[in-house]
Each structure stands twice: as structure tokens, then as C-alpha cells.
A and B are shown apart, each in its own frame.
Chain A
Amino acid sequence: MAGLTLVEVVVALGISALAVAGIVGGYLFSIASAQKSALSLAAGAKAIERVEETRSAIWSISSFPPVDQLVATNFPDEVVILDQNAAGNGITYGTNLTQISQISVDPPLRRIHVDCVWNFKGIQLLTNSMETCRAPDR
């Protein structure tokens, strides 16, 4: 009875390797997805932090003289850390970009828009946005 030929053995090994590679690839993909979700949550949280900071800016039109800290120049672009490993390296950064625009003068109302832009593994640029409106004297 003839045994397996070299070609048959190589093909069988190749198929096995593909199967194992597929399983490992699946796990790696799932890890990357989990990491992306975690970074996305962190970016969202950083955008919320910036929105809350703008919430605390004084915008008082009923006082004299009026005080207005709620302007875009007071909130320049800010680099934030989204994630780092236990060794303190492998840091993923994001950048908070803040836009403040006047929606209406009477009644006075401003729109605050914060984008947290971040880079996932150097291949994908992603943005998490947060938006709110604010009236003065609050």
C-alpha cells in the first residue's frame, strides 16, 4: 500500500496552518476591536470633560461690566492621553478641538462643539464629538 506523498503531507499541513491562523486571527481581531471600543469611550469622556470646562466658563451679561469667558480663544486645542500601558509607554493621544459659535443673539445662546480626534494604530483617524448649548448667567 502506498503511503502519503510529500505533496499530500504539505497540502494537509498547509490547510491545518490556515485553520489555526484563522482562529488566532479571530482572537487578534477581537482584541483590536475591544481596544478600539475602549479608546473610543476614553475619547468620548475627554470630549465631555472639555464640554464641562466650557460649562464653568463665566458668561454673564446681567452683571456690569459683563464678563465673557466663553470664547474659543480661551479653549485652545488640547492634547490628551487616552490610554497607556502599565509600563507607562505605548501612549495613545487624542486632541480636543473646541468650537464655540453664537446661535442666537436674542435670546443669547451659544453652541459648544468639541471634537476629540485620535489615531488608531497609526492607520485610522477617528473623531468623537460632543455638543451642547449654553445660555448666559448660568
Chain B
Amino acid sequence: MAAFTLPEVLISTTLFVLLLGGVVGANLFGMRMYQLNETKLKAGDGVRKTLGLMTDEIRKCKNVWLGNATNGNFVSLLDAEPQTGSALLIQPTTNATNFVLYFLNPSDQSFRRSVTATATTTILAQTVTNTTIFRAQDCFGNILTNSQNNRVIHVTLEFFQPQPWLPVGNYSKLETCVTRRRLD
């Protein structure tokens, strides 16, 4: 029985290498796309849970204030100032010492939640790039200049994460609007 000739072996090996290259290339392509989507979904999932919690808290709260936070200390916006800021203070009841504070910590670009009742601060999201996270608007979308009762709290979170295996970074943005249900 005759063995394979050298040209036969070379041709079949080349074909095999081409096929293998195609399969590996397809897998690498898929892995890149998977990585890109995984990062997006993970970031999105965590923040969606956060926004869900925040939405519930705003809907049922007694008072909600917009402002800015420095080292976790909240400074409320005054009337006549555009109601846009990096922090949101939610009072579930009329007890002013009991509140939940959502704020951006600019030094590490993290978005945090602080609860006075349990004296805890947790990091909800990282790599947040926008500094104006909250704005209060009326039902027509105009930014308010007072803390009027029936206002919509608009939340915007923008993220940027560099991707080690991709030429471009991953940018994503989440937005939502919430209106307090219990108007006085």
C-alpha cells in the first residue's frame, strides 16, 4: 500500500491549518464580542438594580432634595438655582434626620448610597463620568428653578470603561425619570 506523497501531505496540512485558522478566528471574534457585551450587561445590571431601588424610594418618600455632595456632606440647591446636581437626598418620613443620600464621589468616580438609619455607605457604581446626575423638571421636560411639589426627578448615569482587548472603550448611559406619588 502506497503512503501519502509529500505534496499530498503538504496540501492537506495547509487545508487543515486554514480550516483551523478560520475556526479559531471565529472563536476569537466571538470572545471579543462576548467580552464587550458581558461588561455592558454587568454594569447595566448592577445599576438597574440600583435605579430600581432609588425609583421606589423616590416614589414613596415624603421629601426629596437636589444638591451637591462634598465628602458625603449634602448641600441643597437654593430656590432660583437650576435644579441640577450630583446628589439627591430622600426623606422617607417627616423625620429630617432620617434620610437616604445618593451622591457622586468625584475623587474615584463612584456613585454611592448613604443611609443614616444604618450609618452605612455603599458603592453602587464605578467609572461614572458625568457630574450632573440628577435634575428636577416639570411635566414638559423644563428644568425647574425651585423645589416645587409635582416634579420629575431625572437621573442620568454615564459610564466609560477601557477595554484591554479592544481598540475602543466601552461607553454606556442609563437614564430614568421618577415622580413622587405622595404629593402634599
Check if B124 is an interface residue, CB within 8 A of chain A: no
Contacts of B117 in A (CB 8 A): none
A54:B139 contact, CB within 8 angstroms: yes
The residue on A at minimum CB distance from B174 is A45
Check if B75 is an interface residue, CB within 8 A of chain A: no
Check if B169 is an interface residue, CB within 8 A of chain A: yes
The residue on A at minimum CB distance from B22 is A20
State in angstroms the CA–CA spacing of A3 and B4 once bound together: 9
Q: A54-B139, A56-B151 are in contact. Are A23 and B23 (CB under 8 A)?
A: yes
B152:A86 contact, CB within 8 angstroms: no
Which residue of B15, B23, B178 contacts A52 across the interface (Cβ within 8 Å)? B178
Which residue of A45, A58, A86 contacts B168 across the interface (Cβ within 8 Å)? A86
Check if B79 is an interface residue, CB within 8 A of chain A: no
Contacts of A56 in B (CB 8 A): 138-139, 150-152, 179
State in angstroms the CA–CA spacing of A48 and B27 once bound together: 38
Contacts of B2 in A (CB 8 A): 1
Write the nearest CB–CB distance from B57 to chain A, whole angstroms: 14
Chain B: interface residue total (CB-CB under 8 A): 37
Q: A20-B22, A53-B139 are in contact. Are A27 and B169 (CB under 8 A)?
A: no
Check if A24 is an interface residue, CB within 8 A of chain B: yes
B23:A57 contact, CB within 8 angstroms: no
Contact digits for B6-17, partner A, Cβ 8 Å, 1 yes 0 no: 011001000100
State in angstroms the CA–CA spacing of A55 and B138 once bound together: 10
Q: A27-B29, A53-B152, A138-B183 are in contact. Are A20 and B23 (CB under 8 A)?
A: yes
Binding site for B on A (CB under 8 A): 1, 3-4, 9, 12-13, 16-17, 19-20, 23-24, 27, 30-31, 34, 38, 45, 48-49, 52-58, 69, 74, 86, 138
